[in-house]
Amino acid sequence: MPIAYCKRCHRLFNKGRRDLCPNCVEEQEQVFQTVRAYLKQNPLANLMEVAEGTGVDPNDVVDLIREGLLLVRDNPNLNYPCERCGAPTQAGRYCTKCAEELTAALQSAREDLTKRAGQDRRGYFSR
Ligand SMILES: [Zn+2]
Ligand SMILES: [Zn+2]
């Protein structure tokens, strides 16, 4: 089994599917339950209110959302800055706009490659 440093407590552990050691997985699960229960009671809370209300580090709350464990579709005020432009984000690392732009950029890069491959082939056949 591969060994890795836990992303959260930086202890060595036998790496499974996750970047967290079993200890932290358990802690994260508890944090998740706490935050989810709080949001059920306070659906309009923002990140700081959630952190204050639950005693959970705001970064841990953001981690839960980024990793897709915590869904905040029903919590319009709960957001964190996009890693690219700083706009309020509710899922993943980027806001909707940046996610779309990045997908489009990737798409056009891929189309470019296909086009170039096509030209190469034509060049080959005309020889
Ligand atoms: Zn850990
Ligand atoms: Zn953005």
Q: Are residues 52 and 109 in the same domain?
A: no
Are 117 and 61 in the same domain? no
Distance, CA of 65 to CA of 79 (rounded, Å)? 9
Rounded to 5°, angle at Cα 91 from 5 and 102: 90
Instruction: Compute CA distances 101 → 47, 73, 94, 98, whole Å.
Output: 26, 22, 10, 5
Q: Which ligand is nearest to the CA of 86?
A: 2
Q: What's the angle, vertex CA 93, arms to CA 81 and CA 26, rounded to 5?
A: 105
Q: Are residues 29 and 78 in the same domain?
A: yes
pLDDT digits (tens, 9 = 90+) for 38-74: 999 999 999 999 999 999 999 999 999 998 999 999 9
User: Does the pLDDT of residue 125 top 70, yes or no?
Assistant: no
If you measure from the C-alpha of residue 47 to the centroid of ligand 1, how many angstroms do you get, rounded to a whole number?
Answer: 23
Give distance in angstroms: CA of 13 to centre of ligand 1: 8
- Residue 3 host element (H or E): strand 3-5
Q: How far is the CA of 84 from the centre of ligand 2 (A)?
A: 5
Structural domain including 74 reads 3-94
